[in-house]
Amino acid sequence: MGSFKGHALPGSFFLITGLWWAAKQTFLYATRRNKSAGAGRLASRATQRRIEIIEGAVILSFSIIGMLAEQLLAGGPKFQLYDSSTQHWEQLMNWQHTTMYLFFAIAGAISLTVHSTDIAPLALDRMLLGLAFFNEGFLFLYHLHGRDMLDVHVHTLLLYAIFGQAFICLLEVFHRGNILLELLRANLTILQGSWFWQIGFVLYPPSQVKWDQTDHDNSVFVTLCYCWHLAFALLTVAVVYWSVLCAVRSRLRRIPPMEMGLLKPRKKEVESEDEIL
């Protein structure tokens, strides 16, 4: 994975996931807030469950694809861990990435189970998502031995986003349905995604000019750059939030709310899973 593509790929995944989370959570928040105006019909509890199940399935399948790619593609260890002839471990970096994917696969599988059955409390999905992020950060933390100064620095900055996500998932276990935490998580996921791209550009620049890995000024610039990525992620989440909110409202304005209120005055179903907690 020591290549430009190897960083752009997970970066794109996280970018898409972050955008999706921002849109999904805003949508659910808007329907919760406008329930009296008939927004419940936009996202009934069954629809929500289906969304969560699909999300879990997508995360699970992409993680499995990632694990297989890391193992089987050119240069992968092909599920062999130890080479007895040379007495060396085989491709430990690929095994690390496989393990990162493994925990996201577990989180996806559990999310799938939690939302398709009623066997476990809902908050379990966030706890395992948090564990997956923590595990990712944990492996990155012990991943940096003996690299160049700038290389270590850009990966250290990445850890802020990753451990931030893990911490927010833990908070969500206790404060489920808090839109601020949900948007902050989406925000940090976008930050992680765009920063993966930035790492690719810094360590494996497409142009001829290489970055001086030991120049302190480069390290200062990279820190600054990280803050700008964060500002960009904030802007992105704000735009997504605003668009989804407007879309839900304009959709609601087109539905005559009175009629519904008259026809089904007693139908009182729980619209949102989060409110059950």
Binding site for a second copy (CB under 8 A): 88-89, 92, 95-96, 99, 102-103, 106, 119-121, 123-124, 127-128, 131, 135, 138-139, 142, 145-146, 160, 173-175, 179-180, 184, 216-221, 223-224, 227-228, 230-231, 234, 241-242, 245
The minimum distance between CB 100 and a second copy, in angstroms, equals 9
CA dihedral sign of residues 80, 81, 83, 86: positive
The minimum distance between CB 3 and a second copy, in angstroms, equals 20
Nearer to a second copy, 227 or 270 (CB): 227
Amino acid at 272: S
The minimum distance between CB 18 and a second copy, in angstroms, equals 16
Nearer to a second copy, 7 or 97 (CB): 97
Q: Residue 213, Cβ neighbours under 10 Å: how many?
A: 16
The kind and range of the H/E element at 261 are: helix 257-263
The minimum distance between CB 263 and a second copy, in angstroms, equals 28
CA distance 151 to 141: 13
Nearer to a second copy, 49 or 88 (CB): 88
Helix (H, G, I), strand (E, B) or coil at 42: coil
Nearer to a second copy, 58 or 109 (CB): 109
- Compute the half-sphere exposure of residue 115: CA atoms within 13 Å on the CB side of its CA: 23
Strands 88-89 and 82-83: antiparallel
Structure-token match 């994917």, residue found = 101
The minimum distance between CB 144 and a second copy, in angstroms, equals 11
* Angle at alpha carbon of residue 47, lines to 126 and 118, rounded to 5°: 50
The minimum distance between CB 227 and a second copy, in angstroms, equals 5
Nearer to a second copy, 53 or 124 (CB): 124
Nearer to a second copy, 10 or 77 (CB): 77
Chain centroid offset of residue 202 CA: 23
Residue 83 phi, psi dihedral angles, 5° rounding: -95, 105
